[in-house]
Structure 1
Amino acid sequence: MKYLTLAAGILGASAAYAETPELTVYTYDSFVSEWGPGPAIKTAFEAECACTLKFEGMGDGAALLARLKLEGERSEADVLLGIDTSLIATAKATGLFTPTTIKADYTLPVAWEDDTFAPYDWGYFAFVHNSDMTPPKNFTDLAASDLKIVIQDPRSSTPGLGLLMWVKAAYGDEAAGIWEGLADNVVTVTKGWSEAYGLFLEGEADMVLSYTTSPAYHLIAEEDATKSAAVFDEGNYMQIEVMGRLAASDQPELAQQFIEFMVSDAAQSVLPTTNWMYPAVTPAAGLPKGFETLSVPEKALLIANDDVPALRDEALQEWLGALSQ
C-alpha cells in the first residue's frame, strides 16, 4: 500500500507539473542578465500566476523584431518585450500582434494612445562620459571635436536606431552633413548596447551612446559619481520601451496577465534600479534616491510612430554613406 500511495503521489505531482502553463517572453539580453530586472520579475510574476515564466534573451530590441519576423506565426513567443516607439509601425505591419488594452496611470512625458503595445519604461538617449570631461553641447560641436564615441548599429539595436532618429529630428535635411562630420569620431559600431557600454568602461572611447539615466547605475549600485550624461541644446531623443502580445500565442490570458503585471507597482518599482530607466508608472514609493541628481533635457525630441519607417530608410542610407567613406 505504501508503494501504491507513493506511486500515486509521484504520478499526481508529475501531472500537476505537466499542466503548469508556460509563458515565453522574448526580450533583450540585458533585461535577463543577473543584474537586470528579469530575475526579480520572474520570481514575482510566478508567485502570482501559478505558471512558469520563460525569458528568451536575444541581442537588442531591433534584433528581437527581426527574429520574430523570421519565425512568423511559428514563433514560441507569447509576448515581445523590448522594442520601442521607433519600431512600433514596423511591428504592426507584420500582422503578428493582437490589441492589448490595459488601464494604467502612466506618468510618461507624452500621452499614450496606442492599443496594440503598452509602455513599461522610458528615458532619454544621451552620450555618457566621465564627469571630469567637458562634453560637447550638440552634435555640431561633437563632430568638430576629436572625441571618440562608441555607438550601436541601428539595424540591430534600438539605441542605434534612436540615434538616427535623434539626428534626423534635430537636423532634418541637414542630417547627412552631420553624419559626415561624425564619421571620424566613431571608434566602432556594436550590435547592441551592452557591448558598446562595456567598451566605454574599458576606456576604448570618450563617450558612449546610452541614456541620461545610466549614471544612476554607477551612483546607486557602485557609489561612483564619476559618470555623467550630456544634455544637448538641440534636444535629446526620447525612448519609450513597449511590450505586446502575439496573436498566435497559445496562452493569451496569461500573456495579458503578464503585461498588466509589468505596469503594476510590483514590477515598476523594480525597473529603475535594474533596467536603469524611468518607470512608465511612478511607483508608490517614488523614484530611488539618486535619480534626482540626473540631467534632464530641457527639450525632448520624438518622431511620431507612423512617420518613422520612411525617415528610418532615409536616415539609414545617410548613416551608411557617411560611415563607409
Structure 2
Amino acid sequence: MKSPLFAAAILGLATSAQAQTLTVIAPDYFGSEWGPGPAIKEGFEARCGTCTLNFRTGDVMSRLQLEGARLDGDVVIGLNTDTTLRARETGLFVPHGQPLAALTLPIDWADDTFLPFNWGYNAWVYDKTRVKNPPTSFADLITREDISLIWQDPRSSSAGLALLLWVDQLYGEDAADVWAALSERTVTVTAGWSEAYGLFTEGEADMVLSYATSPAYHIVAEEDDSKAAAIFSEGHYLTAEVAGVLSGTENPGLAADFMAYILSPEFQQMIAYGNWSYPSALPREDWPEVMRDLPYPDTALFYSETQAEERRVPALDLWLEGMTR
C-alpha cells in the first residue's frame, strides 16, 4: 500500500511538470514556419531547460474579448499599440515586471502592463522597375494620378488601421478628401496584409501599404533589391507590437522568464529577421546591416492607445465618406 507521503510526492511532480509548460496566445503568423515563433520556441526552451513553450494562434483580440477569464494561457504576444486599450480594459493582464531602460523605440515608453518586442513605420512600398520617381510626401502621393495602389481595410487589418490613423493625424477633418483622392487610383482594398502584398508582388499595382522594413525581406531572402519604401517628409506612423502577462497564468515564474527573454539580445536579433521589423531593445548600430542601410523616416508620428481609440470611429466615418464619393 502506497503511503500518503508517496502520493503527495507524485502529485507534486505532476504539478511541477504542468508548471513547466508556457502557453503563449499569438497571431496566426507567429506560429507559421516563416514567422518568428519556431525560433523563439527553440531559443526559450534551450534557456529554461525542461520547459515547453506552446503557441495558441488565432485572432488575439477576439479571443481576449470572447473568452475573457476563461482564456487558457500565460502570456499574450502580438497586440499592437492601436488596440492595447481594448485589451487593457478586459482586466486580464498584470504588470510585466520588466525594466524599460533597455528600450530603444523613438518614442517614450512607460507602460508597466504591455512590453514592446518590436516596432515599425508604416510605409508605401513600391517596385523600382515600375516607379522611377516615387512620391516624397503624403501630399505628393495624393496628387499622383500615375501611380496605382493596393492597401488594407482599416476595419479588418492592423496595417489598414495604422494608415487610417496616419491620415487622421496628418489631415484631421479633411481626411475624407484624401480618401476620395486615393480611391481613384486604388486597385483594391484587401482584408489583410498578406493578400495585399501578394497582389503587389504579382504586379497588380505600383505601390502597396506595408512597412519601411519590408524591402529587407526581398534583399535577404530573395536577393532582390527592386522593392523600396517611399519616405515621406511629413513623417511616418509608428506602431509597436507588445506582449503581456495574463492574470490567470498558472506559471507566473515562467511567464516572467519569457518577458525577460523578450528583452534579450538573442530574442531581439531573432525578431528582426523573423518579423522583418525594428527590434525594440537594440540600438540601431546593432540592427542587422540590411535594416541599418534602408532609408529611415526622420519623424515618428504616433497616437497613444487612448488617442488611437478616441480617433478610430470618427476617422472611420471620414474614410467611409471619402471612399463612397
Q: Per the shorter chain, which TM-score range?
A: 0.7 to 0.9
SS in 2 for 1:42: helix
CA distance in 1, matches of 2:213, 2:108: 21
**Aligned equivalent of 2:322:** 322
Q: Does 1:97 align with 2:93?
A: yes
CA 28–195 in structure 1, closer or farther in 2 if over 3 Å, else same:
farther
**Aligned equivalent of 1:71:** 67
**Aligned equivalent of 1:151:** 151
CA distance in 2, matches of 1:121, 1:64: 17
CA 284–125 in structure 1, closer or farther in 2 if over 3 Å, else same:
closer
Q: How does 1:38-53 map to 2 (within 5 A)?
A: 38-49=37-48, 50-53=50-53
CA distance in 1, matches of 2:118, 2:223: 24
Q: Report the alpha carbon displacement of residue 310 of structure 1 after superposing the two structures with TM.
A: 1.3
Q: Does 1:226 align with 2:222?
A: no
**Aligned equivalent of 2:122:** 125
Tell me, which stretches of 5 or more residues in structure 2 are unaligned? 1-9
Q: Deviations over 1:262-302 (max 9, x none)?
A: 11112111111121111111179811122222111122111
The answer (yes or no) to whether the contact 1:107–1:282 under 8 Å persists in 2 is: yes
**Aligned equivalent of 1:23:** 22
**Aligned equivalent of 2:7:** none
Q: Does 1:140 align with 2:136?
A: no
Aligned residues: 310
Q: Report the alpha carbon displacement of residue 19 of structure 1 after superposing the two structures with TM.
A: 3.8
Normalising by structure 2, what TM-score?
0.88
CA 67–187 in structure 1, closer or farther in 2 if over 3 Å, else same:
farther
Q: Report the alpha carbon displacement of residue 20 of structure 1 after superposing the two structures with TM.
A: 6.1
Q: Deviations over 1:1-43 (max 9, x none)?
A: xxxxxxxxxx9xx969964632222222332221221111000
CA 124–22 in structure 1, closer or farther in 2 if over 3 Å, else same:
same
CA 223–163 in structure 1, closer or farther in 2 if over 3 Å, else same:
same
- Which of 71, 81, 88 is the matching residue for 2:77? 81
Tell me, which stretches of 5 or more residues in structure 1 are unaligned? 1-10
CA 156–15 in structure 1, closer or farther in 2 if over 3 Å, else same:
same
SS in 2 for 1:136: coil
Q: Does 1:178 align with 2:146?
A: no
Q: Does 1:110 align with 2:116?
A: no
Normalising by structure 1, what TM-score?
0.88
Farther-moved stretch of structure 1 (64-73 vs 17-26): 17-26
Segments of 4+ moved more than 4 angstroms: 14-18
CA distance in 2, matches of 1:283, 1:229: 22
CA distance in 2, matches of 1:176, 1:138: 18
The residue type equivalent to 1:24 in the other structure is T
The residue type equivalent to 1:111 in the other structure is D
Q: Report the alpha carbon displacement of residue 196 of structure 1 after superposing the two structures with TM.
A: 1.8
CA distance in 1, matches of 2:150, 2:199: 8
SS in 1 for 2:286: coil
CA 283–308 in structure 1, closer or farther in 2 if over 3 Å, else same:
closer
* Aligned residues: CA RMSD: 2.3
SS in 2 for 1:249: coil
